[in-house]
Structures are given as structure tokens and as C-alpha cells.
Amino acid sequence: MAKAILMQGNYAAAEGAIAAGAKFFAGYPITPSTEVAEVLARRLPQVGGTFIQMEDEIAGMAATIGASIAGTKSLTATSGPGFSLKQELLGYASMAEVPCVIVNVQRTGPSTGQPTSPAQGDVMQTRWGSHGDRGVIALSPSSVTECFTVTVDAFNLAEKYRTPVVVLLDEIVGHMREKFIMPDAESLTIVNRKKPNLPPGEFLPFKPEEDGVPRMPAYGEGYRFHTTGLVHDYTGFPNGSNAMTHEVIERLHTKITRNIDDIVRFEEVQLEDAEIAIVAFGGTARSAYAAVEAARAEGIKAGLFRPITIWPTPDKQLEALAKKVKTIIVAELNYGQYVGEVRRIVCGEANVISLPKWNNDAITPNELLDAIKAAR
Amino acid sequence: MEEILAKYFRPKLPHIWCPGCGNGIVTAAVTKAIDKLQLDIDQTAIVSGIGCSSRASGYLNFDTLHTAHGRAIPFATGIKLVKPNHNVIVLTGDGDATAIGGNHFIHAARRNLDITVVVFNNNIYGMTGGQYSPLTPNKGMATTAPYGNVDRPFDLCELAKGAGATFVARATTFHAALLAEVIAKGISHKGFSLVEAITACPVSFGRQNKMGSPANMIKTQRDNAVMVEAMAKMKPEQYEGKFPIGVLYQAEAPEYVTEYQKVIARAMGRTE
């Protein structure tokens, strides 16, 4: 086993990408995600991969998609304004079903906002930022170790479902330094995209299989396939008929919703007998652990539900939670984004309290404890 | 031509281009260049942006990528970097390459990335119906310049050269053989190569600018294009309305992919 080292969240995400088999990164420097690029500039060529700093955020996303279509696992990283700039091509990657990973280290917005301060204000942008309708997968790690494992997982889900996957860090987790032990390569599950099972001429590059996901050739394999952001049929060529448009856009959703049990990851802390549950993810969950412990010490039956997959929402788990507890407190570093989803899912089954914060500071354990006490 | 059609084109007719459009001539020139060089089809990728000319990728029988508006070059950059031995050819329009994609254009040129960019220059946004582009002449008419174009156009070849491109050529659809020849030279060139292909858009540009029939627009190309060697012998006062065609510039410089392969070798040597 590797020895324990002190590691930063952004570094761990970069190492996770290497472990997942990524061989290409294209991006643009932006706080607080720049370390991801810096680490990969050094590490990728060591494993025979390629790093390139592009002329802008959009180009970083474009080159990332191009490399993946050609057949190489690829990623980009960004923050705040950069994530906004990438939205059009995130939609392209969804429509053209290109596996890739986008690490977004959230900072305070809107606009330039507060570049060095933590926030979780991109929750809804991650879901709805690109024009049109599509299914989305986004994972939010809460520790340095999880920055690594979640990034590996993000690649696996991207490859399995042929979709962009967002690793949604926040400045707390991205810049946090804590103990990290590099997992053995053999202990990791690595998923690669399904390759064509038919020869060129018979193979249809956008014909979905049972799981809703088409197989994917690479460049130079003789398939001579076409990829477009236009609505297309199974051949990959433009087909804007009503029927095809309906089918394609529906499948961009259902290939995710039908496999939601495979995609949803979460953690439950002391929820067995809980009457009050905190829902928190990313850096905010770190304060929630402490708050639950403090509440329990005072005899309050509090617990934590921590979604790791924040998109798609863990509907089944939140519905069950609402039946069990009286009150759910949704703590997040924004003006109140995920709470709307929780309310939608819970649908009156439990009392939902919003605990938002948007002043550049983390939500403290004491603030959460006060909210728990007030809710009792 | 029939052999070339069968070998390099997909059976995807009818195409979307209007009667009189020059895009078919430019696309044919690309395939003739590929045929001349006998490129391996499966080691060649065609990447395009958005617009009339960018639909060309769909008609060609290669691994083809129809990207987003302005972004063909950065998509192509990703492909070239992970497939260093591939021939990567970008087909793009004047609006796609020099307005929304202008930043990518100059930076790929600056890196001297070994890709070939063929810009179908019809001086207008055709697909959206005739709005002015950065290559619409000053005082030219466009639906968004109903009083004449106030903008001054780029000289695309000078722009590429200034940005660091190491191969720059121009030809017209009238000079179709020359066009195929310079595209072949561009593909053979190690480094960033630009070919500006002057092509007529009779419907969205010619009509507004009273340029006559499609045939007349091609004759105008014939009358105004001058081989670069002949242009060098002309006096400046004879330049009015004329533009040079042929290989305008070629230079040797370190190429990006080759240089990055050295980085990989160095980094891997350092790995324990």
C-alpha cells in the first residue's frame, strides 16, 4: 500500500483522472481550479498523455470533446465564468454522446464574483446551463480522497453512458489539504466505452442498445462515422424529423433515468432513528458531520443525508428520508438552489427548511447546530 | 471525377447548397488533393464548424466531425493531439473561421499545429441569409448592412501569416485545378496551413451586391485573381480590385505535435 501523504483536493481530482485512464486535458487557467491543470501539465506526458493550455475556455471544452471522439479519455477543468463559457459545448457533448469529464471548482458568482471564495452556486447551471433538454450526471465529492475516487467514477459513468459528467467541487474541497493514500491501481474499477460489435458497413454508431447507450468507434478504425450536434438518426447523419427529434431528446434523458440506481451515490449518517436530517453535499457536508455529532451529544436525533450524485437527484432515497424524518434542513452555499429539488421530491411529506449562505464563508457546524435546534 | 466521387463522397445527395453555389467545387478540390496525395482514408479526419460550407464534412466518406459554430479548429486540435499521425483537415467558412472562431484560428496558426484549414470564403453568412462577415468588403451590401458595410474586412492570408501560419495559399473556384494543387501542398506541409478558397454565394451575397449570374461571379474571380508571381511584377497602382492567388507564403518552423512528442519523451524519461 502507498504511504499517506498530504494532498489537495484539486491534485486528487487530477490524479483520479490519470488513474481512470485519461490521456488528454485541454483547459484554461482559472481560480480556484488551476491546480488541476498544473498537475496534469506535469503528469499527463509522464503517462504518454497530452496536456494543452488553450486560448480560451470554449476551446478547452472543444479540444476535450475532439480528443474523446477520436478515442481518448479526456477532461477539462474550470471554475465560475469558465463553466458558463463551456455550457454550449457541454450540450454538444450530450447531443453527440461524447464521454468526457468536466471538473468545475465552484466559486462565488455571478460574474467575476469572488474568485477565491467557496460557493455552490453552479448546482442549477450544471443541470440547466446549456440550451435545450438533456439528462445530466454530476457528482460532488466532500473530501480529498473522494475527489480522487469520484473523478475515477465520473470517467466510468461518462464512458458507460456516453455523456459528459461534471465533477462539481467547491473551493473548500478543491483547496482543502488532508491525508490521502493513493489506492492500488488493481483496487479500482475502470470502465471503458463499449466498442462496435459489428464491422464497418453494418454498424450504426448511434443505435442504442438495451441500456439506451450506443456503442462507440474511434477514429482510424475504418468506421468512417459522422458526428454532429444536429438531431441525427442511428447513422449519425442529420435527421430533423419530428419522430427522430422526439426519440433522441427522450433518450438523452432516459439513458440516465432508467439507470439511476447505477448512477446514484450517497452517504447516510445516523439516519436510523433521526427526526431531523441535514441534506448537504461537497464542502458543506464537512460541517454537517460535526453538527450531527454535536446535536447527538445534546440528545437531539439528527442525521445527514449526503448526495454524492447530485444530478440526477436521488429521488427514491429522498422520498424515503421524508417518510422517516419530521424535518429536512438543506444547507448549501448559494441563495437556495438544491432546496427546490428537495421540496419537489419530498412533496410535503416532511418539513423542508432552507439554510443557504452566499457571503463567501463556509456554513459552520454551529450555524447548522442552531438550525437543528430551531427546527426541533 | 466519377472515381473520386465514388471513393471519397458518401451517397448523401441531395446536398443543401443552392444552385450556383461554389461550395461543391471547393469540396471537390479537397477530394482531388486527397486523391493526388493518396492519403489513407482511415488516417484522415475531416472537421467542420457551422454554416453552409461546414456541411461538406457530412458528404465526405471519412471519420467526419460537424462541430459547433466557430469551434472546428479546437475540436480538430484535440483530434490531432491524440492522433498525431492523422491528417486533420478543417473545412470552414469565412464567418465561422474569422468571426466567432477567429481566436481559435490565430492561436492554431501561432502554435503551428499540423492541420490544414480550408476557408470557403464567400464573403457572407449564407446559411442565415446574407449577413456581413469579417470578409465582406467595405461598403458591400448585406441584410445587416442595408446602407453598406461599415466594417473593414480582414485579409485572411495576411492574418494567417501574421499569426504564425507556415503555409498560406489562396485560389478561387474558377481556378479549381490550382485550388486542388494548393490544398495538396497545404496538406503535405508540416505545420499549420491555410488555404483561402474564394467561392461564390450568388443567392445571399451576389444578389444583394448586383454581381449577376453565378457564371458571372466566377468570371469576376477570373478577372481579379492574379498569380502571386505575376502580381509581384505589377505596379501598386495596378492592384485595384486585384488579389494574389497561389502559394503566398511558406516557412519552416517547429511544429506543435512534433514538439509535444518531445515533451512526452522527456517526461516519460523522468518517470521512475
User: Closest chain B residue to A227 measured between Cα atoms?
Assistant: B65
Smallest CA–CA distance from B76 into chain A, residue: A66
In the listed set A187, A205, A237, which residue is the last one of a domain according to the structure? A187
* Mean pLDDT value across residues B260-270: 93
pLDDT at B264 over 90: yes
Query: In chain A, whose CA is at the least distance from the CA of B259?
Result: A50
Distances (CA, A) of B118 to A64, A268, A279, B67, B229: 22, 56, 54, 15, 22
Q: Give the nearest chain A residue to B82 (CA atoms).
A: A67
Is the same domain home to A31 and A153? yes
* Angstrom distance (rounded) from CA B178 to CA A213: 46
What pLDDT score does B198 carry?
98
* φ and ψ at residue A31, rounded to 5 degrees: -75, 140
Å from B231 to nearest chain A CA? Answer: 35
Q: At what angle do helices B23-37 and B176-188 cross, to 10 degrees?
A: 50
Residue A336: domain span:
265-375
Q: Does B81 touch chain A (CB under 8 A)?
A: yes
B74 contacts A72? CB cut-off 8 A: no
User: Does this model's pTM top 0.95?
Assistant: yes
- A132 interface with B at CB cutoff 8 Å: no
Half-sphere exposure of A180 (CA within 13 A, CB side): 22
Q: What is the CATH number of the domain that holds A324?
A: 3.40.50.920
pLDDT at B1: 80
Alpha helices (H) in chain B, listed in sequence order: 2-8, 23-37, 56-59, 72-82, 94-95, 102-111, 156-163, 176-188, 214-224, 228-232, 256-270
Spatial separation of the C-alpha atoms in residues A210 and A214, rounded to whole Å:
9
Q: Do both A14 and A162 map to the same domain? A: yes
3-class SS of residue A288: helix
- Out of A187, A217, A248, pick the residue that ends a domain: A187
Among candidates A78, A69, A75, A86, which has minimal Cα distance to A51? A75
Q: How far is CA A78 from CA A27, A62, A101, A145, A169, in A?
A: 7, 13, 11, 20, 10
Q: Are residues A164 and A285 in the same domain?
A: no
CA distances from B212 to A275, B174, B206, B220, B229 (A): 80, 16, 7, 10, 30
Gap from B170 CA to chain A (nearest CA, Å): 26
Whole-angstrom distance, CA of residue A376 vs CA of residue B21: 74
From B224's Cα to the closest Cα of chain A, the distance in A is 36
The CA distance from B122 to B204, in Å, is: 9
Residue in chain B closest to A58 (alpha carbons) equals B71
- Hey, is the C-beta of B267 within 8 angstroms of any chain A C-beta? yes
A324 and A180 assigned to the same domain: no
Judgement on whether residues A158 and A284 belong to the same structural domain of the protein: no
Q: Is residue A116 part of a domain?
A: yes
Which helix (H) or strand (E) segment holds residue A164: the answer is strand A164-170
Phi, psi of A119 (to 5 degrees): -160, 165
Q: How many angstroms separate the CA atoms of A144 and A153, rounded?
A: 14
Statement to judge: residues A160 and A274 lie in one domain: no
Name the residue of chain A whose CA is nearest to B40's CA: A220
Is the Cβ of A68 closer than 8 Å to some Cβ of chain B? yes
Residue of B nearest to A47 (CA): B268
Give me the pLDDT at residue B270, please.
62
Show the CA angle centred on residue A139, arms to residues A136 and A143, nearest 5°: 170
Are A55 and B103 within 8 A, CB to CB? yes
At B272, the pLDDT band (50, 70, 90 cuts) reads very low
| CB A356, CB A334: distance < 8 Å | yes
Q: What's the pLDDT at B159?
A: 98
Check if A240 contacts B (Cβ < 8 Å): no
Judged by a CB distance cut-off of 8 A, whether residue A46 touches chain B is yes
B264/A50 CB distance under 8 A: yes
- Helix (H) and strand (E) counts in chain B: 11, 10
Is residue A358 situated within a structural domain?
yes
> Residue B61 is nearest to which of A24, A219, A224, comparing CB atoms?
A224
Check if the beta carbon of residue B49 is closer than 8 Å to that of residue B101. yes
Which of A172, A187, A202 is a domain's end point? A187
Cα dihedral across residues A248, A253, A256, A260: positive or negative? negative
Give the pLDDT confidence of B74-91 residue by residue, as tens digits.
999 999 999 999 999 999
Tell me whether residues B267 and A227 touch, CB distance under 8 A. no
Residues in A closer than 8 angstroms to B42, CB to CB, are 220-222, 224
Question: Which of B75, B113, B270 would best serve as a mutation to test chain A binding (most A beta carbons within 10 A)?
Answer: B75
* pLDDT tens digits for range A63-100: 999 999 999 999 999 999 999 999 999 999 999 999 99
CB of B65 less than 8 A from some CB of A: yes
A15 and A119 in a single domain? The answer is yes
Strand-pair partners of B47: B65, B90
Q: How far is CA B227 from the centre of its chain?
A: 18
The C-alpha atoms of residue B133 and residue B146 are separated, in whole angstroms, by 14
A176 and A297: one domain? Answer: no
Cis peptide before A200 (omega within 30 of 0): no
Query: For residue A336, how far is the Cα from the chain centroid?
Result: 19
CB B54 within 8 A of CB B96: yes
* A243's grid cell: 419522430
A335 touches chain B (CB under 8 A): no
Domain that holds residue B48: 2-270
Spatial separation of the C-alpha atoms in residues B120 and B4, rounded to whole Å = 20
Cell of B230: 505575376
CA distance B156 to chain A (A): 19
Cell 471525377 found at:
B1
Which amino acid, B13?
L
**In chain A, whose CA is at the least distance from the CA of B43?**
A220
* Residue A183 resides in a domain: yes
Residue B266 touches partner A, C-beta closer than 8 Å: yes
Q: Are the beta carbons of A64 and B104 separated by less than 8 Å?
A: no
Between CA A54 and CA B74 the distance in angstroms is 8
What are the phi and psi torsion angles at B142 (to 5°)? -150, 160
Element (H, E) at A43: helix A34-46
Whether A181 is in a domain gets the answer yes
Are residue A70 and residue A161 in the same domain, yes or no? yes
User: Which cell numbers in the block locate residue B40?
Assistant: 489513407
Question: What sign does the CA torsion over B226, B231, B234, B239 have?
Answer: positive
Decide: A92 and B68 in contact? Cβ < 8 Å.
yes
Any domain includes A49: yes
A179, part of any domain: yes
Across the interface, whether the CB atoms of B64 and A227 are under 8 A apart is answered: yes
Do A24 and A165 lie in one domain? The reply is: yes
pLDDT at position B271 over 90: no
Give the separation between CA A37 and CA A10, rounded to whole angstroms: 9
- What is the full DSSP assignment across A203-218? --TT-B-TTS-B----
User: Hey, of B8, B67, B114, which one would you mutate to test binding to chain A, going by the most A CBs within 10 A of its CB?
Assistant: B67
Which three cell numbers, joined as nine digits, stand for B247? 502559394
Contact B268 A64 (CB under 8 A): no
- Cβ B71–A23 below 8 Å, yes or no? no
Tally of domains within chain B: 1
> What dihedral do alpha carbons A222, A223, A227, A230 form, nearest 10°?
150
Question: B263 — contact with chain A (CB < 8 Å)?
Answer: yes
Say if A88 is an interface residue toward chain B (CB within 8 Å). yes
Residues B120 and B92 sit within 8 Å (Cβ to Cβ): yes
DSSP H/E element including A189: none
* CATH classification at residue B94: 3.40.50.970
Residue B42 to residues A67, A200, A294, B182, Cα–Cα distance (Å): 16, 12, 63, 22
A169 and A286 part of one domain: no
CATH number of the domain where residue A170 is located = 3.40.50.970
Give kind and range of the element (H or E) at residue A131.
Answer: none
Q: What is the number of domains present in chain A?
A: 2
Write down the pLDDT at residue B13: 85
Helix/strand/coil for B44: strand
- Chain B residues close to A47, C-beta within 8 Å: 268, 271
Q: Among the residues of B83-175, which ranges form H helices?
A: 94-95, 102-111, 156-163
Nearest residue to B117 (alpha-carbon basis) of B126, B130, B108, B127: B108
- Mean pLDDT per 10-residue segment, chain A (376 residues): 92 98 98 98 98 98 98 97 98 98 97 95 98 98 98 98 98 97 96 98 97 98 98 97 98 98 98 98 98 98 98 98 98 98 97 97 98 96
Maximum distance among all Cα pairs of chain B, rounded to whole angstroms: 69
* pLDDT score recorded for residue A1: 64
CA-CA distances (angstroms) from residue A273 to A250, A276, A297, A302, A375? 39, 9, 15, 8, 16
Picking from B77, B103, B260, the nearest residue to A63 by CB comes out as B77
* B chain contacts of residue A220, beta-carbon cutoff 8 Å: 42-43, 63, 83, 86
Q: Which positions in chain A touch B75 (Cβ < 8 Å)?
A: 62-63, 65-66, 69
Q: What's the mean pLDDT in B166-185?
A: 98
